[in-house]
Amino acid sequence: MLKPQDNERLVRVGPETPMGNLLRRYWQPALLSSELPDNDGAPVRVRLFGEDLIAFRDTSGAVGFLDAFCPHRRAPMFFARNEQHGLRCIYHGWKFDIQGKCVDLPNVADTERVAAGIKIVNYPAYEGGGVVWIYMGPKEKQPPHPDFEWMRAPERFRHVSKTHQDCNYLQALEGGLDTAHTSFLHNEDIGAKTLRNEDGVPKLEIFPTSYGYSYVSFRRAPGDANYVRVYQYMMPYQQLRGFISDDYGNRKKMATVAGHFWVPIDDYTTTTWNLLYAADENVPFTREFAEEDEKRTGRGSDDMIPGTFQLKRNKSNDYMVDRELQKRTYSGIVGINTQDIALQEGMGAIVDRSKESLVGTDLAIVTMRRMLLEATHAVERGEDPPGIDSTSTRAVRGFDSVVPAGADWQSELKDKMSAHW
């Protein structure tokens, strides 16, 4: 159970809200690099934390993020001309570079004098890992660029995608941190036993870190052993998990690490970023495998509404739930992430957490909420929040393995859990 005032503090992400101020202290994934394919190409609309922006790649290939509306008379910059190192509003020709500086005022007589005092709201950009990142916080507190392991994996060994969710980021994040639900919601064959559904009551341990926490789930496995899965929660809303000892569904055996970011568009909508990368260069990671995995999760190319990041299986059609299929699977909904989205969106845009009844397997969720709440207060006190320094997260990865019952899992897995790339 969460007090209503604490719930409000966690879910509201707009400008000058406690959570909004916290989230703006981190670099955020904003666009796939492929969404800005060409220098001087078409601008792209971006909405983050309730702010409307325009992204564009200029003549040199650098990316800029500007206010979605011209500071002259608030004309939409989406229709602007992208030309010669700047974005030119088509209403009166005012032009701005990626730093937000006005470089031309063709409808003003004394152009040089007026332009010196005119800027458009702009935010720094960084490109890495096939993603365009944005920093929206105070410029004097800008942290180092992100340097996660998946970003350093060569392009042919990684895959990044994104999907849209019609709910607050927090319930999506909570679903990602909830290891217990995989034994039920994602049980694709009720009669089969796998490492993830044979034991529906995993035991959890939390290990606080400088970037958030590691959490470990222990499930009974055949042969007097335990299935141990090490997850990473990196502030404010990234999760990583391993697929090293995988026997889940029909997923082809391949050693990978996967994860998500759940980035707020505003209080009521979220972009879910999906990560998958090979554990090392010996893994035969291919584009075909990545697409197969996307299809397994319900977000393959044929599962998306063309030209969007919206699933065809969505709230408007009850996620195409098949009640006959549900007699053989737990949910009757096709796609692992589609199942998650159906439940998370079905809770409503924002959950009233004062009505919850939490249990022991919710430990990771409760711990995350406490950390986020404390981080909002830390920022209000003028302190830095956890995890903004990329050196604290660059060597972090998820992992899983089967270890003998009673064995010291940390000793067993110590040499296998460090980042490879």
Cα 315-248-157 angle, rounded to 5 deg = 90
DSSP letter for 383, please: P
Domains identified in the chain and CATH numbers: 38-141 (2.102.10.10), 149-416 (3.90.380.10)
Q: How far is CA 7 from the centre of its chain?
A: 20
Give the pLDDT confidence score for residue 219 in this predicted structure: 84
Give the pLDDT confidence score for residue 197 in this predicted structure: 61
Give the pLDDT confidence score for residue 55 in this predicted structure: 98
Spatial separation of the C-alpha atoms in residues 289 and 395, rounded to whole Å: 25
Spatial separation of the C-alpha atoms in residues 139 and 412, rounded to whole Å: 44
The pTM assigned to this predicted structure is: 0.92
pLDDT at 194 over 60: yes
Spatial separation of the C-alpha atoms in residues 101 and 86, rounded to whole Å: 9
Q: How far is CA 58 from the centre of its chain?
A: 26
pLDDT digits (tens, 9 = 90+) for 347-372: 999 999 999 999 988 999 999 999 99
- Confidence label for 189 from pLDDT (cuts 50, 70 and 90): low
Q: Which string of DSSP letters, residue by residue, matches 174-192? A: HHHH--GGGGTTT-S-TT-
Query: Helix %, strand %, coil % for the chain, to 5?
Result: 30, 25, 45
Looking up tokens 């919850």 gives: 356
Answer with the residue of higher pLDDT: 138 or 109: 138
Q: Quick one: which H or E segment has residue 376?
A: helix 363-380
Q: Give burial (CB, 10 Å; 0-12/13-18/19+) of 55.
A: buried
Give the pLDDT confidence score for residue 195 in this predicted structure: 63
pLDDT at 376 over 90: yes
How large is the average pLDDT for residues 387-405?
89
Give the pLDDT confidence score for residue 400 in this predicted structure: 84
pLDDT at 250 over 70: no
Give the pLDDT confidence score for residue 410 in this predicted structure: 79
Q: Which string of DSSP letters, residue by residue, matches 71-122? A: TTT--BGGG-EEETTEEE-TTT--EE-TT-BEEE-TT-TTHHHHHTT-B--E
pLDDT digits (tens, 9 = 90+) for 20-48: 999 999 999 999 999 999 999 999 999 99
pLDDT digits (tens, 9 = 90+) for 47-98: 999 999 999 999 999 999 999 999 999 999 999 999 999 999 999 999 999 9
